[in-house]
Structure 1
């Protein structure tokens, strides 16, 4: 094990001792669970990614799968851990300092059942700019656009595009297909209102992370079927693409952090009306009709139950005749994409994703 592994092990051991010194909240992971997960993590994770994971563990959040949805939304996030790491390093966590040249403003845009809050990220320079509609992650249940600010803001910089990050309705208050309906409604609106955002309605793209990566692909399919202006590119970062939680990566990383199998099963329980919902092609993308879609970029993390979802989706897209490129980043975990301020491979992934978007969005 490298030196950083020993240092991280000491950190985790100290954390476990401190936590174990008092009665544990039953909604939190046990000391043994933390120790097993932490030890496995040390053996495979990059140093800067491990720093973020250690910081996240020190924030001592409850296990998502042991909480209610409202409680889950209050738990520490990877974004919180990044801010804490920046504080430790005496660096500013101000988004505009971390991603200069991108301004942001909050707006509301129509969803399928009322207006939705959204943030518009605008790069420097005169418009009209190409426009990327971006969907945040969180299993369709937790998180919001502010938690995923760094990924959306980074894409605006790297793709030189307006990025519109929207807060779709979340489960269990609004179960499937509410989020998918909102995603299509916001895209439909963008095809006729992009100019109001200094955007070009002829140069659109879809993007998202995790559950949002699923929404990006599902929305492209729905837009095709509805006869809407087709997006020029689709970016899906570690998307949910199929319902089987016993793929090789699910089995290998069943207890990984910050995403694991129990959490995914909890998300499914929150969003589903019936067990058949997860077989719907809007969730089970590998079984959907993928023909005729725009070029797709898939980004996956090695240490992630959803790693093989990306591989399966790549294969399904190829079989459907869709141009697709997938890049797998080793040594990093689910949620790494938005950690570019402190994780080098996230910086590389954002640059790669931006280049892929820009190549198609800049075509005349």
Structure 2
């Protein structure tokens, strides 16, 4: 279907601003740009209310904990943010976590893993695993329910899928939103959506270049980089989300196919007309805002079935 009008307006606004593309800048300027499109747009009036927000230490990894209004117990969602393993932080995903907490009636633990290139692979994997394991050990103090899920978008979807594989006997569910699943692969959507749809192929290369900059020779088929390369039998049931105009669309859907073929319960949805990164585009795109609401409802329904 055609590109969503609200998303097109946002892309036009970005183009008119005249800023150089992300891949021509530095990680510092990219991080500032992300904050300007997220944190800087939030006011006291638009900040989503929840019961409690606390910055905590999750086994040595900085994290932020969101508790719903009222009395639990609630399931706990460990949220691992996106940003190509290079950008993003607790603040840029604050509104997303608040909405999962409020509308999904779940406790949310948002993980502030180390970013590349200062801390290249496998730092993000190590920090994410540490935080998820900590959440499993402290579930009674978090949501209070036995149910602990993991979820994230883009690079966070990659890290969430890896955690779900490593802890397949302990996690209740996984929520993978336009995830990166196959660094070694080649998919039609990478060519079809290589330019003009927010995340472009040049920026993907820029992200992976920073993430893989540790100096050692890496195998792109390592399941800690490409979770699609791993055996997925017995992993937690999943919500898998893709966007039509996204270079990562096909590998996300290939991963959903692999999960289903292994007997894993998968609720998969492609949001036509939307682009990579639509979680943060709700202010200009009613369709993106509705999609986030739908994803939260799907996540809540999955956790309710497991309760």
What does 1:214-225 correspond to in 2, within 5 Å?
214-224=158-168
Secondary structure (helix, strand or coil) at the match of 2:86 reads: coil
Residue matched to 1:309: 251
Which of 342, 346, 349 is the aligned partner of 2:284? 342
Residue deviations 1:125-181 (CA, integer Å, cap 9, x gap): 112221100011111111212112232222112321011111101111111111111
| Distance across 1 between alignment mates of 2:225 and 2:92 | 23
Larger mean CA deviation between 310-319 and 51-60 belongs to 51-60
| Distance across 2 between alignment mates of 1:305 and 1:178 | 25
**Does the C-alpha gap of structure 1 residues 102 and 256 become closer, same or farther in structure 2, counting only changes over 3 Å?**
farther
| Equivalent pairs, count | 304
Asked which structure has the greater RCO (Cα within 8 Å, sep 6+), the reply is: 2
| Structure with greater helix percent | 1
**Does the C-alpha gap of structure 1 residues 132 and 95 become closer, same or farther in structure 2, counting only changes over 3 Å?**
farther
Which of 287, 291, 294 is the aligned partner of 2:236? 294
State TM-score, norm by structure 1: 0.77
- Per the TM alignment, residue 124 of structure 1 is displaced from its structure 2 partner at its CA by 1.2
Residue matched to 1:166: 111
**Does the C-alpha gap of structure 1 residues 316 and 275 become closer, same or farther in structure 2, counting only changes over 3 Å?**
farther
Secondary structure (helix, strand or coil) at the match of 1:121 reads: strand
Structure 1 residue ranges without an equivalent (≥5) = 1-42, 87-92
Which of 202, 214, 218 is the aligned partner of 1:276? 218
| Distance across 1 between alignment mates of 2:292 and 2:37 | 19
| Distance across 2 between alignment mates of 1:341 and 1:73 | 20
Residue matched to 1:18: none
Q: Does 2:101 correspond to 1:156? A: yes
Q: Would you say the 8 A contact 1:237–1:299 is kept in 2?
A: yes
State TM-score, norm by structure 2: 0.90
Which of 80, 84, 87 is the aligned partner of 2:36? 80
Residue matched to 2:194: 254
Structure 2 residue ranges without an equivalent (≥5) = none
**Does the C-alpha gap of structure 1 residues 57 and 154 become closer, same or farther in structure 2, counting only changes over 3 Å?**
farther
Residue matched to 1:68: 26
Q: Does 2:4 correspond to 1:50? A: no
Secondary structure (helix, strand or coil) at the match of 2:218 reads: helix
- Per the TM alignment, residue 83 of structure 1 is displaced from its structure 2 partner at its CA by 7.5
Secondary structure (helix, strand or coil) at the match of 1:147 reads: coil
Larger mean CA deviation between 346-355 and 236-245 belongs to 346-355
- Per the TM alignment, residue 338 of structure 1 is displaced from its structure 2 partner at its CA by 2.7
| Distance across 2 between alignment mates of 1:341 and 1:255 | 23
| Distance across 2 between alignment mates of 1:215 and 1:82 | 22
Residue matched to 1:144: 89
Residue deviations 1:38-69 (CA, integer Å, cap 9, x gap): xxxxx942111122223333444332222232
What does 1:15-26 correspond to in 2, within 5 Å?
none
Residue deviations 1:1-58 (CA, integer Å, cap 9, x gap): xxxxxxxxxxxxxxxxxxxxxxxxxxxxxxxxxxxxxxxxxx9421111222233334
**CA RMSD between the two structures:** 2.3
Q: Would you say the 8 A contact 2:52–2:67 is kept in 1?
A: yes
**Does the C-alpha gap of structure 1 residues 195 and 336 become closer, same or farther in structure 2, counting only changes over 3 Å?**
same
